[in-house]
Amino acid sequence: MTPGSIADLQKALLAKKTSVLSIVKHYLEQIASTSDLNIYVRVFEKEAIEKASALDDKIQNGEPVGKLAGLVLSVKDVICIEGQEVSAASKMLEGFQSLFTATALQRLLDEDAIVIGMVNCDEFAMGSANENSVFGPVKNPLDPERIPGGSSGGSAAAVAADTCLISLGSDTGGSVRQPASFCGVSGFKPSYGRISRYGLIAYASSFDQIGVIGNSPDDIYKVLQIMEGEDEMDATSTAFMNYTPSKEKIIGWIPEIMNHPGLDPDIKNESDLVMEKLKDEGYELKSFDFPLLDYIIPTYYIMTAGESSSNLSRYDGVRYGHQTKENVNLENFYRKSRAEGFGSEVKRRIMMGTFVLSAGFYDQYFGKAQKVRRMIKEAMENIFMECDYIICPVSPVRPWKIGEKIEDPVSVYLSDIYTVIANLAGVPAISIPLKSMSSPYASIQLLGPKGSDHYLLTQASELLKKF
């Protein structure tokens, strides 16, 4: 077996109790034995073994190695790796090979991390179930009849199935935290701008962030410290100041969320138990009104649909993407190429986005959504003036069975109600599993002020020890 954390891994390697090659081989065996879960779309067996052997030679010879030597990770199929195919789980990008590596991933590779493969996801990261993929749905390792969550369902399943120690995903509206919750692992979305988006295939640019899924907040913290920071290739990236908590042991909670009629009774009960335990531990639980809750989902889907329709307009079969083989005129060439290349969910969001950005409806929809987003951001900032972080459920529902909601996209959209708040406000958030609860899907979410990523991860680590 492999060490359970990056810290354990480093100790075992330096003590020469294990080798990088044996760790890589373990994960390759796990990938093979769990192939029925449909997690991986590409496995880099040769490259991983070669890198592992080279690192073992360095360790044996006493040569210096990177801070992440021996860490084996997987990457969501929307993050570019030089020389490797990246398809965003779409026919539109079938056969496309990247000419460069995403900055965030390159920083990990520079510290001797090893990428073992690319994992499945919803097409162009659009979905909450990992069923919208040209490669077919991913199955939840905890129950193969159920979804793993989405859009980073492959990343969460990869960690839960012990095929890697860390997986990089992307989080536009909860796409790292929700699948992590459904698969019983930890998933972290950073403050907007903390991690470079260069090399991440865009869905909605003002929402997207590369996120991290792992077995613990401590492992995620180690990876974040290496990935984060300003990048000249991404104008939205920034170097954050260290965050200093001012309201120690004051945790915020929102009654509109905890008492929402759509919240599963068992999830509410678990959340209440968490809050009671925190009170017993000496924390102060302070409630805050949030009357904008019902506007969150409409605002999120109007804005992300608008941004996605703009971002995906480049995939027209001429500049990028799938080209139809039919002999048609130019206008029909565009139509056929996009109709054949995109799946149904992507088409749905492109059409919705085109509508809300159209001249006659822009002010009525997209313009108003921008104003509501600003109000949500300001409301969150006011709450964080009186507490250091907010606690709430990750999702109002448990993972449903594969195929159960294919014909009901609206109910799937509503399952994101507790996660999209962080993306609308640009703040960090983490999902952590509650191992002490009876349900394997039990989890809780922490949201902190913008820039409080390091503090939030340390608090998540402390809470995880209590549950």
Chain segment 381-429, per-residue pLDDT in tens: 999 999 999 999 999 999 999 999 988 988 899 899 999 999 999 999 9
Is 445's pLDDT higher than 80? yes
Q: 14 pLDDT band (50/70/90 cuts)? A: confident
- Asked about 151 being catalytic, the answer comes back as yes
How many percent of the chain have pLDDT more than 70? 99
Question: Which pLDDT tens digit goes with each residue over 253-280?
Answer: 999 999 999 999 999 999 999 999 999 9
In this structure, the dihedral spanned by the alpha carbons of residues 17, 20, 26 and 29, taken in order and rounded to 10 degrees, is -160
Among candidate residues 151, 167, 191, 452, the one labeled active-site is: 151
- Asked about 76 being catalytic, the answer comes back as yes
How many percent of the chain have pLDDT more than 90? 92
**pLDDT score of 453:** 97
Is 3's pLDDT higher than 80? no
Question: Which pLDDT tens digit goes with each residue over 213-254?
Answer: 999 999 999 999 999 999 999 999 999 988 888 777 899 999
| Mean pLDDT, the chain, integer | 95
Query: Dihedral of CA 307/308/309/315: which sign?
Result: positive
Among candidate residues 19, 51, 74, 76, the one labeled active-site is: 76
What does pTM read for this prediction?
A: 0.96
Listed in sequence order, the residues at least 6 apart from 3 whose beta carbon sits closer than 8 Å to its beta carbon are 9, 11, 12, 18, 23
C-alpha span between 424 and 403 (Å, rounded):
29
- Asked about 175 being catalytic, the answer comes back as yes
Q: 5 pLDDT band (50/70/90 cuts)? A: very high
Listed in sequence order, the residues at least 6 apart from 243 whose beta carbon sits closer than 8 Å to its beta carbon are 448, 449, 451, 452, 453, 454, 455
Listed in sequence order, the residues at least 6 apart from 98 whose beta carbon sits closer than 8 Å to its beta carbon are 80, 81, 82, 83, 84, 85, 86, 199
Strands 429-433 and 443-447: antiparallel
Strands 186-189 and 429-433: antiparallel
Question: Which pLDDT tens digit goes with each residue over 358-393?
Answer: 998 999 999 999 999 999 999 999 999 999 999 999
C-alpha span between 11 and 18 (Å, rounded):
10
H/E stretch holding 22? helix 20-33
**pLDDT score of 1:** 45
Question: Which pLDDT tens digit goes with each residue over 45-84?
Answer: 999 999 999 999 999 999 999 999 999 999 999 999 999 9
Structure tokens at 361: 């409806």
C-alpha span between 168 and 104 (Å, rounded):
9
**pLDDT score of 2:** 60
